[in-house]
Chains A and B, each alone.
Chain A
Amino acid sequence: MTILKRSWQSWLALALALAALATLPFLSAEAPFAYNPMRMFSIFVLTIGATLVSLLPLPSVFVAVTLLVCAHFSTSLLIARLAGNEGMASTAFFLALAANWLLAWRCVSILSALKVRSKTVDGLLRLVIPAIFGAWILILWEAATRGFGIPFIILPPPSAIGVRFASSIPTLWADVQQTVFKAVIFGYLVGCAAGFAVAILADRIAFFRRGLLPIANLMSALPIIGVAPIMVMWFGFDWQSKAAVVIVMTFFPMLVNTIAGLSAAGSMERDLMHSYASDYWQTLTKLRLPAAMPFIFNALKINSTLALIGAIVAEFFGTPIVGMGFRISTEIGRMNVDMVWAEIAVAALVGSVFYGVVALGERATTFWHPSNRGG
């Protein structure tokens, strides 16, 4: 038996790092800013050092932390020098990057296999592992766009988007206020409430069930692209017309899910309420609505993303000179692709936070559901 561990990522990383060392330099000869020797030395010491540590029989936590620190520090040294040298990266550069990527992979697999008892450490791991994943998407994106010299218009590197994001925070904040805090929140609340109320009405009154549901069905099939300009005509250029589009979009998922949820209670549970001579509203509030909660939260989650999409798309059809959709449509026309990407990042962030809040509410409300119990 050997004292070295069998880990194909580490061995391959070692091979790649040595290959990179053999094919130096990192940049082609015409590159305006070369890597200085100290930086190159540090990159190789960090990468090869981390690889060797990962091959030795050491405690896995120590190995993981070493890999995490060294591989990523080495990567940042490697990548930071690319700015200004777009399209000049050589084979050695990509070999070294690949070696670091394999080390990060090894790090994540060690972390994933860790069995921890402490809840805080477990919570930290739940954050660290996806963070490493996400970071590597950005790193590879950055390396590919700058390394191959991909035109800015096609795909700007994430660092440029980040710079643009940081310098336009006031504009982005104003857009979020206009689109999210006014149109999305208002439209979402009203749309969901209306869908819910109509579902109760349809459940209570046969006339609504027979007459209104087919029409509501029709409404769900309305194309948002067609509805948005009409809403602008009706409600003006400001956020009200966008809120109207959001209402139209969120109404139907809530209606359908609530109706499905209201029939989710079992027949035995209903018979029980019947045996208590419980009236319609008592049965509704004490049995049918609690049983419908998983369905209602499904609708709330679907709607949280639909609402954002609806409001942004609706802004393409006329807005005052603020709003996320407005910004995207005008900046793309001015070839400011980095601003478009910054706005997309904001939308993704807002959408995730929105979804997360709804999901937290779901956990608190439907803790009893078999899918949430164990967790």
Chain B
Amino acid sequence: MASQQAGFDRHMAENNFSVVSARKLGLTFETGDGPVHALSDVDLEVKKGDFVSFIGPSGCGKTTFLRVIADLEGATAGEITVNGMTPENARKSRSYGYVFQAPALYPWRTIEKNIALPLEIMNYTAAERKERIERTLDLVNLAGFGKKYPWQLSGGMQQRASIARALAFDADLLLMDEPFGALDEIVRDHLNEQLLKLWARTQKTICFVTHSIPEAVYLSTKIVVMSPRPGRVTDVIESTLPKERPLEIRETPEFLAIAHRVREGLRAGHSYEE
């Protein structure tokens, strides 16, 4: 009976468990020029193991939504749970790693000390810190760069180090806010490929904000198309692409069909303005 229950739990965890669940979520900023509706009526489920991309023009609330999940902003309407808890409790139980638009590495710490930062705060032992630094550096292909200072590395390497930092502790959810936005196309392609491998190896749930259609389609199992004023979800596309995705998949008709649907969704969100 007990083993059956455990099996059921595992099954739930693998297929059905909602990591992020938002219902009628709204967020209004009160500004000097009156209220700004950053998010309104957002309904969304992110299942365990999903790779969800949020795409839309600037001002559509994609970053704000990610920040609400992370408890960096508070919702003003509706409900949201993260790992079945309020975002605040989820943050306090350290259930996610956040990768920002910029690496935000501390210049006075070496790369390995930067990766150790969350581990120090969360009271991991020295031995465990060492082991995790090594493992995550390896995961992002930065082995051997641990003793360097961030400003001695290229932008792409810095962003990889910041991903390593988010992976170092045991959070199953990875929130990424346009992590490759500032990098050039070639580095970006390379990092996207690596990110997919990393996702397959770590089995994490990833929420990924981007404004690049090919990036969103290439990476995601689910694409959330958003539009601005007020920030809202206009379409949710389940990707039919296989899990194994070489870069060449971007030339296939299937890929192009999904990209087309995303573009249509983005256009629909805009059309009423013109």
Contacts and interface: CB of A to CB of B under 8 A. Distances in A.
A368 B118 CA distance: 20
B118 A276 contact: yes
Say which size band chain A's interface belongs to: 20 to 34
Contacts of A268: 100-102, 104
Given A276-B121, A286-B120, A368-B108, A271 B151 contact: no
Contact of A368 (B97, B101, B107, B120): B107
A262 to B, nearest CB: 15
A275 B70 CA distance: 7
Interface string A281-324: 01000110010010000000000000000000000000000000
B92 interface: yes
A105 B181 CA distance: 54
Nearest to A275: B98
Contacts of A274: 71-72, 91
B149 A368 contact: yes
A29 interface: no
A293 B93 CA distance: 31
Interface string A339-355: 00000000000000000
Contacts of B70: 275
Contact of A276 (B94, B106, B149, B151): B94
B122 interface: yes
Contacts of A370: 151
A278 interface: yes
Contacts of A277: 91-94, 121
A282 B94 CA distance: 15
Given A277-B94, A368-B151, A373-B151, A272 B104 contact: yes
Contacts of B121: 273, 276-278, 282, 286
B117 interface: yes
Interface string B68-112: 001110000000000000000001111011101110101110000
A369 interface: yes
Contacts of B104: 266, 268-269, 272
A165 B97 CA distance: 66
Given A275-B72, A276-B94, A369-B107, A286 B102 contact: no
A269 to B, nearest CB: 5
A127 B126 CA distance: 45
Interface string A357-375: 0000000001111100100
A272 to B, nearest CB: 5
Nearest to A369: B107
Contact of A290 (B92, B97, B106, B151): B106
Contacts of B102: 268
- Most B CB contacts (10 A, CB to CB) among A275, A368, A369, A373 go to A275
A116 B70 CA distance: 54
Contacts of B108: 290, 293, 366-368
Given A276-B118, A282-B121, A271 B98 contact: yes
Contacts of B97: 275
Given A287-B106, A290-B106, A290-B108, A272 B100 contact: yes
A361 to B, nearest CB: 15
Contacts of A373: 151
A287 B117 CA distance: 10
Nearest to B120: A286
B199 to A, nearest CB: 20
Contacts of A290: 106, 108
Nearest to A278: B121
A293 B72 CA distance: 27
A269 B107 CA distance: 11
- Most B CB contacts (10 A, CB to CB) among A268, A367, A373 go to A268
Contacts of A269: 104, 106
B178 to A, nearest CB: 12
A266 B102 CA distance: 11
Contacts of A275: 70-72, 91, 96-98
Contacts of B106: 269, 286-287, 290
Contacts of B72: 271, 274-275
A97 B110 CA distance: 56
- Most B CB contacts (10 A, CB to CB) among A276, A367, A370 go to A276
Interface in B101-137: 101-102, 104, 106-108, 117-118, 120-122
Interface in A155-201: none
A266 B101 CA distance: 13
A90 B101 CA distance: 74
Contacts of A293: 108
A367 B152 CA distance: 13
Contacts of A366: 108
Contacts of B149: 368
Contacts of B107: 368-369
Contacts of A367: 108
A290 B113 CA distance: 14
B100 A271 contact: yes
A63 B141 CA distance: 55
Nearest to A265: B106
9 contacts: A266-B104, A268-B101, A271-B72, A275-B71, A275-B98, A276-B122, A278-B121, A370-B151, A373-B151
Q: Which 3 A-B pairs have the closest CB atoms?
A: A368-B107, A368-B108, A268-B104
Interface of A: 266, 268-269, 271-278, 282, 286-287, 290, 293, 366-370, 373
Given A271-B100, A274-B71, A366-B108, 16 more contacts: A268-B100, A269-B104, A272-B98, A272-B100, A274-B72, A275-B71, A275-B72, A275-B97, A275-B98, A276-B117, A276-B122, A277-B91, A277-B94, A287-B106, A368-B107, A368-B149
